[in-house]
Amino acid sequence: MFSRLLPNQYVKSIYDIDLFSLKDRGIRAVITDLDNTLVEWHRAEATPEVKEWFAKLEETGLNVTIVSNNSEKRVKEFCDPEEKVFIHSAKKPRRKAFKRACKQMGVRTDEAVVIGDQIFTDVLGGNRAGLYTILVVPVTKTDDWMTKLNRRMERFVLRWMKKKGHINWED
């Protein structure tokens, strides 16, 4: 039951992901969440570090699509200045937006990775769609009210997984 909630990889931030290692695994595309994965949920624009990370993705030859449950206005405001393709109102953990992102980037699901900060949206959705999943620590400790509820459930699941030996990272 909990196996679909288990990410393939866990890192502290997007900057700790070895992009060349992903490329060597046959990964050609990145599907990333926006809020609390790339920037704080209330930050409108990309930070210089995120811009540099986008440049590294491009240098590595990895395509990127931002998939968010947030509104079109919010996601467009972030993505347009960076000229990034996005899918808003994704209804994660449903598979449809992940599959659509793969189709738009011209890759199979085994050639894409999902990066996100939430188990019940990003990891579960990515796993359900057959994608490699990477869980990152949220960039900020604050969340909107709905995400706060998810975080409570996540803490329970993470403790259970750690106790059962399914994960070995620090909190």
- Domain CATH number, residue 101: 3.40.50.1000
- Please give the pLDDT value at position 164: 72
30 confidence band (pLDDT: 50, 70, 90): very high
- Calculate the average pLDDT of the chain: 90
Q: Is residue 170 in some structural domain?
A: no
Beta bridge partners of 65: 31, 85
Q: Is residue 66 in some structural domain?
A: yes
Contacts for 121 with CB less than 8 Å, ≥ 6 apart: 33, 69, 92, 93, 150
Q: How far apart are CA 121 and CA 114, in angstroms?
A: 11
More confident site: 96 or 5: 96
The answer to whether 138 touches 10, Cβ cutoff 8 Å, is no
- The tens digit of pLDDT for each residue in 80-106 reads 999 999 999 999 999 999 999 999 999
Q: Is residue 89 in some structural domain?
A: yes
Number of domains in the chain: 1
The answer to whether 124 touches 93, Cβ cutoff 8 Å, is yes
Structural domain including 99 reads: 2-163
Q: Is residue 169 in some structural domain?
A: no
Q: Which of 87-96, 128-137, 142-151 bottoms out in mean pLDDT, i.e. has the lowest?
A: 142-151
Contacts for 91 with CB less than 8 Å, ≥ 6 apart: 69, 97
- Is the pLDDT confidence value at 170 over 70? no
36 confidence band (pLDDT: 50, 70, 90): very high
Percent of residues, the chain, with pLDDT higher than 70: 88
Q: Is residue 29 in some structural domain?
A: yes
Q: Is residue 44 in some structural domain?
A: yes
- Is the pLDDT confidence value at 47 over 60? yes
